[in-house]
Homo-oligomer: A and B are copies of this chain.
Amino acid sequence: MAEGASQDLLLAAAFVSDAQYNRNIPFRTSPEAVRLYYLYNHWIMRTVTYFFIFLNLSLAVFEEPAVYPLPFLVTSLIEVLCLLVFFGRLTHFAKVTLRNVFWKDTKNICIMVAILLSLTDLAIYGVLRMYNMRSIRWSRIVRPIFLINFAESRQIRRAFRSIRNTLPEITYVFLLFMFSLLMFSLMALKLFGERNLQTAEGLPYFKNYLEIVFDLYVLVTTANSPDVMMPAFDFSSWYALFFIAFVIVNTYIFMSLFLAVVYNNYKKHLKNEIRKLAYMKHRKMIEAFNLLKEEEGAQFVVREARWKQLVKLVAPDISNSHRELLLCISDNEQKGFIDKKSFVQLADLLNIQVITLKIRSHPLGQWMPRVYKSAVSRFLRSMVRHRGFVWTYDVIILINAIFIALDEETPYISYAEWVFLALYIIEILLKVYTYEPRAFFGKNQFWNWFDTLIIFAALTATVLNTTLKSTTKYNSQQILDIVFILRVLRLIRIVDSIQRFRVIMNTLINIVPTMLTFGGLTLVVYCVFAIIGMELFHGKIQFFPASSNVPHALECGNPALKDSLFARGKYCKNNFNNFASSFIVLMELTVVNQWHDILCGGRSRLEPAKLYFIAFHIVMVIIIVNIFVSFILEAFFVEYSLEKSEVETAIEQKIQELGMGVQEDELQQEQLLDNMESAEHDLEGEGGTKPQSKGLVFKIASKRYRTVDALLQRMFEAEIPLEDEGPSFDEILNLSPTAAVPSNLTLENTA
A residues contacting B by CB (< 8 A) are 172-173, 175-176, 179, 183, 186-187, 189-191, 194, 200, 209, 222-227, 229-231, 233-234, 237, 240, 244, 247, 251-253, 256-257, 259-261, 263-264, 401, 404-405, 408, 481, 484-485, 487-489, 491-492, 495, 500-501, 504-505, 508, 511, 543, 545-546, 568-574, 580-581, 584, 587-588, 591-594, 597-598, 625, 628-629, 632-633, 636-637, 640
CA distance A186 to B402 in the complex (A): 10
**How far apart are A638's CB and chain B's nearest CB, in angstroms?**
11
**Given A200-B568, A251-B591 in contact, is the A598-B226 Cβ separation under 8 Å?**
yes
Which residue in chain B gives the minimum CB-CB distance to A175?
A: B501
CA distance A176 to B568 in the complex (A): 36
B173 lies within 8 A of A633 (CB): no
**How far apart are A346's CB and chain B's nearest CB, in angstroms?**
35
Among the listed B187, B264, B592, which residue makes an inter-chain contact with A640, where contact means beta carbons less than 8 Å apart? B264
**Given A175-B501, A179-B495, A591-B225 in contact, is the A200-B633 Cβ separation under 8 Å?**
no
CA distance A7 to B545 in the complex (A): 90
Which residue in chain B gives the minimum CB-CB distance to A221?
A: B593
Among the listed B229, B491, B629, which residue makes an inter-chain contact with A256, where contact means beta carbons less than 8 Å apart? B629
CB neighbours of A594 from chain B (8 A): 225-227
CA distance A504 to B257 in the complex (A): 9
CB neighbours of A222 from chain B (8 A): 591-593
Show 14 A/B contacts (Cβ-Cβ < 8 Å), sorted by A: A172-B500, A176-B495, A179-B495, A200-B568, A222-B591, A224-B593, A225-B594, A226-B569, A234-B546, A234-B570, A237-B573, A253-B508, A259-B633, A261-B636
B259 lies within 8 A of A629 (CB): yes
Among the listed B224, B240, B573, B592, which residue makes an inter-chain contact with A234, where contact means beta carbons less than 8 Å apart? B573
CB neighbours of A597 from chain B (8 A): 226
Among the listed B485, B571, B593, which residue makes an inter-chain contact with A191, where contact means beta carbons less than 8 Å apart? B485
Q: From A179, A191, A260, A500, name the one whose CB has the most chain B CB atoms within 10 angstroms.
A: A260
CA distance A257 to B507 in the complex (A): 10
A230 lies within 8 A of B569 (CB): yes
Among the listed B227, B405, B511, B584, which residue makes an inter-chain contact with A209, where contact means beta carbons less than 8 Å apart? B405
CB neighbours of A263 from chain B (8 A): 633
CA distance A256 to B636 in the complex (A): 10
CB neighbours of A492 from chain B (8 A): 183
CB neighbours of A628 from chain B (8 A): 252, 256
CB neighbours of A637 from chain B (8 A): 260, 264
**How far apart are A462's CB and chain B's nearest CB, in angstroms?**
14
CA distance A252 to B626 in the complex (A): 10
CB neighbours of A484 from chain B (8 A): 187, 190-191
B401 lies within 8 A of A543 (CB): no
CB neighbours of A625 from chain B (8 A): 252
**How far apart are A484's CB and chain B's nearest CB, in angstroms?**
4
CB neighbours of A592 from chain B (8 A): 222, 225
Among the listed B257, B546, B568, which residue makes an inter-chain contact with A632, where contact means beta carbons less than 8 Å apart? B257
Which residue in chain B gives the minimum CB-CB distance to A491?
A: B183
CB neighbours of A485 from chain B (8 A): 187, 190-191
CA distance A404 to B187 in the complex (A): 9
Interface of A is mostly: helix
B200 lies within 8 A of A570 (CB): yes
CB neighbours of A233 from chain B (8 A): 573, 584
B227 lies within 8 A of A260 (CB): no
A636 lies within 8 A of B179 (CB): no
**How far apart are A605's CB and chain B's nearest CB, in angstroms?**
21
CB neighbours of A224 from chain B (8 A): 593
Which residue in chain B gives the minimum CB-CB distance to A265?
A: B640
**How far apart are A82's CB and chain B's nearest CB, in angstroms?**
26
CB neighbours of A200 from chain B (8 A): 568-570
CA distance A264 to B504 in the complex (A): 14
CB neighbours of A172 from chain B (8 A): 500-501, 504
A230 lies within 8 A of B571 (CB): yes
Which residue in chain B gives the minimum CB-CB distance to A237?
A: B580
CA distance A574 to B233 in the complex (A): 9
**How far apart are A326's CB and chain B's nearest CB, in angstroms?**
36
Among the listed B405, B593, B632, which residue makes an inter-chain contact with A260, where contact means beta carbons less than 8 Å apart? B632
**How far apart are A271's CB and chain B's nearest CB, in angstroms?**
13
CA distance A247 to B586 in the complex (A): 13
CB neighbours of A574 from chain B (8 A): 226, 230
CB neighbours of A251 from chain B (8 A): 591
CA distance A597 to B190 in the complex (A): 30
**How far apart are A22's CB and chain B's nearest CB, in angstroms?**
26
**How far apart are A174's CB and chain B's nearest CB, in angstroms?**
11
CB neighbours of A234 from chain B (8 A): 543, 545-546, 570, 572-573
CB neighbours of A580 from chain B (8 A): 237
A190 lies within 8 A of B488 (CB): yes
CA distance A495 to B183 in the complex (A): 12
Which residue in chain B gives the minimum CB-CB distance to A632?
A: B256
CB neighbours of A401 from chain B (8 A): 186
B504 lies within 8 A of A593 (CB): no
Q: Give 8 closest A-B pairs by Cβ, nearest first.
A: A225-B593, A190-B484, A260-B636, A256-B632, A200-B570, A222-B593, A225-B591, A187-B488
- 6 additional contacts (CB under 8 A) given A225-B588, A234-B573: A190-B404, A191-B484, A200-B568, A227-B594, A256-B633, A264-B640
**How far apart are A222's CB and chain B's nearest CB, in angstroms?**
4
B488 lies within 8 A of A632 (CB): no
Which residue in chain B gives the minimum CB-CB distance to A483?
A: B190
**How far apart are A536's CB and chain B's nearest CB, in angstroms?**
20
**Given A190-B488, A222-B592 in contact, is the A632-B253 Cβ separation under 8 Å?**
yes
B633 lies within 8 A of A584 (CB): no
B504 lies within 8 A of A226 (CB): no
CA distance A237 to B568 in the complex (A): 20
CB neighbours of A261 from chain B (8 A): 636
A226 lies within 8 A of B593 (CB): yes
CA distance A628 to B495 in the complex (A): 30
CA distance A691 to B259 in the complex (A): 48
CB neighbours of A636 from chain B (8 A): 257, 260-261, 264
**Given A488-B190, A587-B244 in contact, is the A570-B256 Cβ separation under 8 Å?**
no
CB neighbours of A543 from chain B (8 A): 234
Q: From A190, A200, A264, A546, name the one whose CB has the most chain B CB atoms within 10 angstroms.
A: A190
CB neighbours of A588 from chain B (8 A): 225-226, 229
**How far apart are A350's CB and chain B's nearest CB, in angstroms?**
32
CA distance A588 to B227 in the complex (A): 10
CA distance A314 to B191 in the complex (A): 49
A488 lies within 8 A of B247 (CB): no
CB neighbours of A260 from chain B (8 A): 632-633, 636-637
**How far apart are A452's CB and chain B's nearest CB, in angstroms?**
20
**How far apart are A185's CB and chain B's nearest CB, in angstroms?**
9
**How far apart are A186's CB and chain B's nearest CB, in angstroms?**
5
CA distance A259 to B491 in the complex (A): 27
CA distance A636 to B261 in the complex (A): 8
